[in-house]
């Protein structure tokens, strides 16, 4: 079972992931990180772990890992 991991401390709030997510699973409603950027949250029911967010993110915020694996 795959899971989307969000490394919020790397995020700079550019929103490329939100614009490209085919399932609108990402929203800019996560906590503000220590650099002061707004970050994302994923709706686990909508996310299909397609990896598009991983591919469009300039800051390597996303990883898709097997459920057991710790990021």
Residue 63 binds to another protein (criterion: CB under 8 A): yes
- Kindly give the pairing relationship between strand 41-42 and strand 2-6: unpaired
Q: What is the chain's alpha carbon radius of gyration, rounded to the nearest angstrom?
A: 11
Residue 38 tokens read as: 């707004």
Give the shortest CB-41-to-another protein separation in angstroms. Answer: 18
Contacting residues for 69 by C-beta, under 8 A, at least 6 apart: none
Between 4 and 43, how does the x/- string for binding to another protein read (CB under 8 A)? -----xx-xxxxx--xx----------------x------
| Site of interaction with another protein (CB under 8 A) | 2, 9-10, 12-16, 19-20, 37, 51-52, 54-60, 62-66, 69
């Amino acid at each position: 079972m795959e899971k989307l991991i969000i490394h919020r401390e790397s995020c700079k709030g550019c929103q490329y992931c939100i614009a490209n997510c085919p399932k609108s699973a990402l929203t800019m409603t996560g906590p503000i990180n220590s650099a002061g950027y707004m970050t994302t949250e994923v709706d686990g029911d909508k996310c299909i772990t397609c990896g598009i967010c991983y591919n469009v993110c300039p800051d390597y915020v996303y990883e898709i890992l097997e459920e057991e694996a710790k990021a």
